Structure 1
């Protein structure tokens, strides 16, 4: 009978070959680079190198901005903040800018009254600012007359 070969205890065990790891690494780099080039060159996903055409906008509309004096409103005792600081500008049709400036005391009165009447929880809700802005714009348009004020731009709305 033939004796089975037994490993010699004096010899260290054979190390696993690193060839499969190197081959896998080289293949991954080659395939990754090829995929990048195919996508970048437009072979895949139909990319193009043509610069998008920039559409030149027409002339600006005939508008002007009328600043509204800052308003500071003290909030009630139940509010987490003590004051509301509000600053805005009105986007108006340019021919009506002097008329809107003349009506500024009335605009301030309407804004002051509205901001004092609104619930503090609504002031603290970040998503309520759009709704508050729409209400203020409608009140300003009623005071100034239709067609004069196009929009209200809120530049500062700070609760502190």
Structure 2
């Protein structure tokens, strides 16, 4: 098993998020307004804006058969709860949940440990705003 480079992941993901942060515009019409998914070679990012301001973002990346997550709360007063899901059946069911973490209004980011994501599995990152009845938002499979 090769060593993962979480600092490199966090540095690259943070730069990516800052660069892409202006790509998605908020409309303010719903709890999560005009949102987006960005992806590249070995990573997937989801961004959702809160109607009251701010956004939550999650990045999942894949390196050496492992998935890693980066969770970001950029000014969402109610906060967001994030997690990584893993499936052994191609994404039909998601029985395994890892690294559940809530980021409140005074928190900014959290980097997860690694989750095995070999050829037998697929993984995705998910989150929801911390309000009653909030929809869950998940990335595509990686």
Structure number with the bigger relative contact order (C-alpha 8 A, sep ≥ 6) is 1
User: TM-score when scaled to structure 2?
Assistant: 0.23
Q: Larger helix proportion, structure 1 or 2?
A: 1
Larger Rg: 1
Structure-1-length-normalised TM-score: 0.22
**Quick check: which one's strand share is greater?**
2
